[in-house]
């Protein structure tokens, strides 16, 4: 687990009925409240990937809101992969 004061990067893979239900739109709406950068995209295998960078405390709060939003019953499983902060992104976007 990362400390809340440092910057980090996480890739979260959401499984379930997460495509075709407004999941990416919901993620984009939630991330507006945070100073986080990265992207969300549908994957060919039916999962949705959310890659986000920023302060670890903000990432954790953001992920909690995503996982408890109105679409929470569509998420059957999620996997988090923490990595070093890379400053690769300048904004948050939807990838197609």
Task: Check if 24 is active-site.
Answer: yes
Which residue among the candidates 9, 24, 37, 47 is catalytic per the annotation? 24
Cα angle 89, 67, 90 (rounded to 5 degrees) comes to: 10
What is the CA 78 to chain-centroid distance, rounded? 10
Q: Which of 32, 35, 42, 83 is catalytic?
A: 42
Residue 9 known to be catalytic: no
| Residues assigned a catalytic role | 24, 42
């Amino acid at each position: 687990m990362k400390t809340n004061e440092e910057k980090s990067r996480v890739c979260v893979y959401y499984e379930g009925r997460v495509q075709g239900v407004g999941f990416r739109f919901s993620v984009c709406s939630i991330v507006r409240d945070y100073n986080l950068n990265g992207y969300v995209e549908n994957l060919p295998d039916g999962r949705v990937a959310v890659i986000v960078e920023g302060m670890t405390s903000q990432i954790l709060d953001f992920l909690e809101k995503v996982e408890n939003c109105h679409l929470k019953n569509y998420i059957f499983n999620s996997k988090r992969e923490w990595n070093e902060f890379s400053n690769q992104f300048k904004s948050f976007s939807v990838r197609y």
